[in-house]
Amino acid sequence: AQSVTQPDIHITVSEGASLELRCNYSYGATPYLFWYVQSPGQGLQLLLKYFSGDTLVQGIKGFEAEFKRSQSSFNLRKPSVHWSDAAEYFCAVGEASGNTPLVFGKGTRLSVIA
């Protein structure tokens, strides 16, 4: 069965600092991987996704993520965080074939301080 682990429950960074949110997955084959962002009281918005090919994927709002098969990781990064990036971030994994629903991690809450 697929599973996703986001080891950090809450991270605080200073505005302008770099950011890395960790995501580890468990899946027997090549997965589809996603990062979503959720602002307070809102639904989830897709930031980026990985299927195959280039292991470094670019997303919206200046985010990127790198797929590392050897580490079963798909960490999200941003070189310079803005106050508006404060939100909850969810990593998700899905089967590359078939239609089993996505499995979400428990999320990492990002706080940004001045």
Partner 1 sequence: DAMVIQNPRYQVTQFGKPVTLSCSQTLNHNVMYWYQQKSSQAPKLLFHYYDKDFNNEADTPDNFQSRRPNTSFCFLDIRSPGLGDAAMYLCATSRDGRNMGGYTFGSGTRLTVV
Residues that bind partner 1 (CB under 8 A): 9, 32, 34, 36, 41-46, 49, 51, 90, 94-102, 104-107, 109
What's at 15, amino acid-wise? E
**52 and 67 in contact (C-beta within 8 Å)?**
no
Least distance (Å) between residue 86 CB and partner 1: 15
CB of 16 to partner 1, least distance (A): 27
Alpha-helical regions (H) of the chain: none
Residue 37 vs 112, nearer CB to partner 1 = 37
In whole angstroms, the minimum distance from the beta carbon of 71 to partner 1 comes to 21
Compute the least distance from the CB of residue 53 to partner 1, in Å.
13
Give me the phi and psi of 85, to 5 degrees please.
-80, -10
Task: Identify the CA nearest to 106 among candidates 18, 38, 31.
Answer: 38
Quickly count helices (H) and strands (E) in the chain: 0, 12
Q: Which is nearer to partner 1, 36 or 74 (CB)?
A: 36
Element (H, E) at 45: strand 44-50
Rank residues 80 and 84 by Cβ distance to partner 1 and give the closer one: 84
The residue among 28 and 98 lying less far from partner 1, judged by its C-beta, is 98
